[in-house]
Structure formats: C-alpha cells, structure tokens
Amino acid sequence: MQLIDGKAVSAQMKKEIAEEVAQIKKAGGKIPHLAAVLVGHDGGSETYVASKVRTCEEVGFKSSLIRYEEDVTEEELLACVDRLNNDPDVDGFIVQLPLPKHISEQKIIEAIDYRKDVDGFHPINVGRMSIGLPCFLSATPAGILELLKRYEIETKGKHCVVLGRSNIVGKPMAMLMMQKSYPGDCTVTVCHSRSENLKEMCLNADIIIVALGVPEFLKADMVKEGAVVIDVGTTRMPSSVTKSGFKLTGDVRFDEVSPKCSYITPVPGGVGPMTIISLMRNTLLAGKKEIYK
C-alpha cells in the first residue's frame, strides 16, 4: 500500500507556482490578483478563506478579502460581483459557499464573469470541462487529477466508481475520469444515496473516489484487493484531543481499507491540501490570461 501524500505534492506545487510568480515579477509582468468574498462568520468558511488568502501571500500573489455580514442582500452581493468583474486589477475571484439561505447561490455563480471564475463553478466552465475544452477546472477534481498524475497511477480502461453526485466534486470528477486523456479513459460508474447496488459496484472498482460527506462510509468489505481509493471527505467531528476542538474525518474507514489498497489518500493530508493549491494554479492561469484572453 502506498500513501498518496497530498501535503507533499501541494508543497511542491506551491514552490513551482512561487517560482513562476518570481519570474513574472522579475520580468515586470502583472502579479496575479485573487479576490475572495466571504459572507457571514461560518467557522469552516472563515478557515478556508483565511487559508486561501495566506497561500496567496506565500506564492507571491496579490489578494483581497471582501467581507459582508450575514444580512447582506442579494442585490448588494450581485453589485459586488459586478465590481469585481469590471475591476481590471482583479484576475480571478471566488464567492465562498455556502451563502445564507436568502441568497441564490446559482444566481451569484452565474453573475461571475466566467473568465474570472477561478472556482470553475460557472456553467460555461462546467460545460467546457464536460466537452474537454480549456477552462477553469474546479479545485477538488483538479487536485485529484494532479495526484493521480504525479503518482503515475494507471487509469486507462480501469473501472472508476465515483461515490457522490455533487456539482462541486462527484459530477465533474465522473466527467473527467471518462475523458479521452490521462488521467482519464476510465469506465465510470456514479453511485449516490439512492443507488441500490452500491457495494457490488465498489467491489468491482479499480479506482474508488468517495465524495459523500458521510464519515467512514467506505468499509473493507466494499473494496477489491489492489484498488486505488481517493477520500474526499472532510467532516469536522468534535474532538477533545485536538487544540481546535474538532478532528477532520474522511469518508473511508482508513484503518481497515488501507491494507487492501495499492494507493490511498489519508484524511487529513490527502485531497484537502490539493484543493487550495489548485485554486492558486487557476489564479496563475487567470493572471497570465492563459485560458481566456
């Protein structure tokens, strides 16, 4: 069993991005600028956005954090998106989700200029991804592809089972794994909360990507000997042991599943660290106008 070290891969990518930013600076080019919009004070969102801003500093990007209280109106938020769309200094921006219930997330996402949509959530980016055109790939699927690539994991002709059908992970992941490319060329099955024969599907899988958000869902009796297991779960469970008062728990019962695997991602330290660095890579591409002019 080989552990897929997302922490190490993301540190390497961070170094690569920082070197490229240093080159841009030296050549007198424009420093990539990422803006993040944060609404309210949700603990998880605060942590993620703080981490995104910190990583921007570490790679040498410019960053801006725009905060609103929980009671911001949809109109105000749309006006903010419009300002960012039209700010020539901002290369890319994200609106951290989830948003308060009185605001339509879809409306906000669709208001973002797809050329600045470094989250890859806009329907134009999703559509372009699904037909294999250059686009901003959403961070988690992009991070998983990068791990498969850097560990040179064979995917061609393999049966990949994706557990979960979210717009952010399950659906794009399934699309990407079936694409005619590397990583890709898989036979893909998507299972979800209504699937009847989920265990049989998993037992037949060479690669299992679990993105259900159900702690320790995947057990040893659902996994074939030699399978590759990618755990996207990051549920915050209360803990009396850790300083933060919570412990990140994956969707895989790691202790019993890992001995059966050829490769597996741990939680924490697997897919998690890759998502922020994928956002940084998108921001670099946005800064260089490499995908859209």
Residue 24: both structure tokens together:
């841009």
The alpha-helical segments, DSSP class H, found in 139-208 are 139-150, 170-178, 198-203
**Residue 137 sits in the site that holds ligand GUN (CB under 6 A):** no
In this complex, which beta carbon is closest to ligand GUN, that of residue 96 or of residue 265? 96
Pattern of binders to ligand GUN over 168-187, x per CB under 6 A? --------------------
Burial 133-158 (b: 16+ CB within 10 A, else e): eebbbbbbbbbbbbbbebeebebeeb
Give Rg (Cα) of the chain.
19
**Shorter beta-carbon distance to ligand GUN: residue 189 or 278:** 278
Nearer Cβ to ligand GUN (24/97): 97
- The strand pairing partners of 207, in sequence order, are 160, 228
Q: Angle at Cα 206 formed by Cα 204 and Cα 208, nearest 5°?
A: 90
Residue of this chain nearest to ligand GUN (CB atom): 97
* CA–CA dist 124, 117 (Å, integer): 10
Single out the residue of 4, 2, 85, 1 nearest to residue 272, CA to CA. Answer: 4
Residues that are catalytic: 52, 96, 119
User: In the chain, which ranges are continuous DSSP H helix?
Assistant: 6-26, 43-59, 74-86, 105-111, 123-130, 139-150, 170-178, 198-203, 254-257, 272-287
Q: How far is the CB of 168 from ligand GUN (least distance, A)?
A: 6
Does 139 contact ligand GUN by CB under 6 A? Answer: yes
Least Å from the CB of residue 145 to ligand GUN = 15
Size of the site for ligand GUN (CB under 6 A): 6
DSSP annotation of 30: P
Is residue 119 part of the contact set for ligand GUN (CB under 6 A)? yes
Minimum CB distance to ligand GUN, residue 116 (Å): 13
Rounded to a whole number of angstroms, the minimum distance from the CB of residue 155 to ligand GUN is 23
Report the residue number, 228 or 276, with the smaller CB distance to ligand GUN. 276
Nearer to ligand GUN, 257 or 274 (CB): 274
d(CA 220, CA 233) in angstroms, rounded, equals 17
- The CB-of-121 to ligand GUN minimum distance in angstroms stands at 7
Is residue 142 a contact residue for ligand GUN (CB under 6 A)? Answer: no
Determine contact, residues 91/283, Cβ cutoff 8 Å.
yes
CB of 234 to ligand GUN, least distance (A): 9
- 248 binds ligand GUN per the rule CB under 6 A: no
In the bound state with ligand GUN, the residue whose beta carbon lies nearer, of 98 and 226, is 98
Determine the 3-state secondary structure of 203 from DSSP.
helix
Contacts to ligand GUN from residues 61-100, by CB under 6 A: 94-97
* Cα distance between residue 210 and residue 163, in whole Å: 5
Q: Residue numbers of the site for ligand GUN (CB under 6 A)? A: 94-97, 119, 139
